[in-house]
Chains A and B, each alone.
Chain A
Amino acid sequence: MTPLEVIFWIASAVILISAIMMVTRRNLVHAALFLIVTLFGVAVYYVLLEASFLAVVQILVYIGAIAILVIFAVMLTRQVTNPGQLFNKHASLALVMSILVFIGLYLALSVWPEFSAVAPEADTAAAISNLGTAFFVEEDGQPVYLLATMTASVLLLIPLVGAIFVARQKE
């Protein structure tokens, strides 16, 4: 086994085990901490896949912003009434559904001819500058992803304004 494969298997184990731990925790703060561990494992995956920009964004946005937001929400909505049941009454049906979805995804992918493809040699060091160019710069007189970038920034701004409006304390 090459060192990369060892890292891959460790990251896979961390992702899956901490995801299962997250789903089954009673204490939501513990669940949020396991969510952070899972997200960190996904960041390791991005490094293995040589998508360094996305690995950094994963840590900044997911762990730095979303996970902290979730922890704050957990702390602000302390469940005082009805702390009893963890799962709703359809939990066993949901388990069957999830396992069926996993089997279905596996079967659908396993008949695909490129399922066990190996990574081609690629100049992934140039990918970061290519990504920045694709986001903002026109190529051959045509903006490649400029409209998508602008739409994404508006999509980020408007829900945040809406979130402040919804969560505001009314006098």
Chain B
Amino acid sequence: MIPLSNYLIVAAGLFSIGLYAVLARKNAIMILMGIELMLNAVNINLVAFWRYLTPENVSGQVFAAMVFVVAAAEVAVGIALIMTVYRRRDTVSADEINLMKW
């Protein structure tokens, strides 16, 4: 049998890789993809906790479905913002989008 720890360690690794993409990459679309990785890692954790700790209760799966909804909304708004910035400033590099930087 696969213990719960295996799922949690892989999810922690996926979260860290996503965090690295968000912190280190310049391209704004790459940052969005990193956020997707992090949300997926959280979802693996939620489903693994549901299966291993409370399989008689569906709340773990309901929470995972909510994360799906939030991820879809987030990526739609994020890409719309990136497209608008690209049209106005001709760049998608997060370093050059600094109009509101103090």
Contacts and interface: CB of A to CB of B under 8 A. Distances in A.
Contacts of A109: 5, 8-9, 12
Which 8 interchain pairs have the tightest Cβ spacing?
Answer: A122-B55, A94-B23, A163-B80, A159-B73, A167-B80, A94-B24, A102-B16, A98-B20
B37 A66 contact: no
Interface residues of A, number: 88
B35 to A, nearest CB: 11
Interface in A64-112: 65-66, 69-70, 73-74, 76-77, 79-82, 85-88, 90-91, 93-95, 97-99, 101-102, 105-106, 109-110
A166 B44 contact: no
Given A42-B43, A61-B68, A105 B26 contact: no
Interface residues of B, number: 75
A28 to B, nearest CB: 6
A159 B37 CA distance: 21
B100 to A, nearest CB: 16
A166 B73 contact: no
B72 to A, nearest CB: 6
Contact of B47 (A51, A118, A166): A51
A69 B76 contact: yes
